[in-house]
């Protein structure tokens, strides 16, 4: 039976499916094994949640669960899904976008709701899930990689030389949905959320393992780049260059106006 895609706000029961998409996308390393790769993915997901104030998912639902699907397979009630007084079909999560708006741009109630502190329950969960990885050589190496990437990100933001009103903290679409416009719809939904908060500029991190061209096509500007060399215990960072043992990381900035 044909299915349709609905965008709605993320729910807690979406987390396991999204963590599995994250694991298969970036952490499916045979050396790690499924249990350790799942821990890495969950720790990464919780860390992204710890920094986020906005969260939207794309879910796949049977066509007969909604009567407003368009010709492109998307429903027309994305903004209403999950709001008070409506009951949106749960669906199967196939993509997610998380974002952070600076607390000063949020109302008092939203600041209280998201508890935007230096340490929140998602930070604690990320650390708790990561701890067993220290017991194995493969786990320790994977954690070194994650710490090295975090250092690269911090340097990219320093290289940009400015602060931003918002950030896209995680953007992920399941392999089975790529090329169907799901990513574009999710990204546009986050831009609407940014505009509603009065955001005029935002940034995101990406790298050569991602579809960097997606951001180029949407008019974002690449403002910084650094290369991480994995051959030296994941602690050697250069300004450019690449090899079979390196990835290049980028900071892009943009404005949340609609793409014309």
Closest CA to 172 of 52, 83, 30: 52
Share in percent of the chain as helix, strand, coil (round to 5)? 40, 25, 35
Cα–Cα separations (whole angstroms), residue 90 to 59, 84, 99, 203: 7, 15, 21, 30
CB neighbour class for 72 (10 Å; exposed up to 12, middle 13-18, buried from 19): exposed
Per-residue pLDDT, 29: 86
Do 221 and 253 form a contact (C-beta atoms < 8 A)?
Answer: yes
Most confident of 62-71, 212-221, 251-260: 212-221
Domain ranges of the chain: 3-254
Give per-residue pLDDT as tens, 179-211: 889 999 999 999 999 999 999 999 999 999 899
Per-residue pLDDT, 113: 57
Q: Whole-structure pTM over 0.75, yes or no? A: yes
Give per-residue pLDDT as tens, 35-81: 999 999 999 999 999 999 999 999 998 766 554 444 344 444 454 43
- CATH topology for 3-254 is Aminopeptidase (3.40.630)
Decide if pLDDT at 19 tops 70. yes
Q: Name the β-bridge partners of 198.
A: none
Per-residue pLDDT, 102: 86
């Amino acid at each position: 039976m044909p299915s349709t895609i609905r965008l709605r706000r993320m729910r807690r029961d979406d987390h396991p499916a999204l963590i599995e998409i994250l694991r298969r996308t970036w952490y499916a390393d045979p050396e790690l094994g499924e249990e350790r790769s799942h821990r890495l993915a969950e720790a990464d997901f919780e860390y992204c949640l710890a920094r986020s104030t906005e969260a939207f998912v794309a879910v796949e639902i049977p066509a007969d669960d909604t009567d407003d699907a368009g010709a492109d397979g998307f429903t027309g009630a994305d903004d209403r899904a999950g709001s008070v007084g409506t009951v949106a079909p749960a669906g199967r999560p196939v993509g997610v976008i998380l974002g952070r708006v600076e607390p000063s741009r949020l109302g008092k109630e939203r600041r209280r709701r998201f508890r935007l502190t230096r340490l929140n329950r998602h930070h604690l969960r990320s650390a708790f899930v990561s701890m067993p990885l220290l017991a194995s050589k493969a786990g320790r190496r994977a954690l070194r990689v994650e710490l090295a990437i975090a250092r690269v990100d911090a340097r990219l933001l320093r290289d940009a030389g400015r602060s931003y009103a918002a950030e896209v903290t995680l953007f992920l679409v399941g392999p089975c949905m790529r090329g169907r416009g799901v990513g574009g719809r999710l990204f546009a939904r986050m831009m609407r959320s940014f505009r509603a908060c009065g955001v005029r500029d935002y940034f995101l991190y990406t790298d050569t393992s991602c579809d960097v061209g997606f951001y180029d096509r949407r008019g974002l500007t690449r403002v910084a780049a650094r290369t991480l060399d994995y051959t030296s215990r994941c602690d050697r960072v250069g300004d450019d260059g690449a090899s079979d043992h390196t990835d290049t990381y980028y900071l892009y900035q943009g404005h949340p106006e609609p793409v014309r």
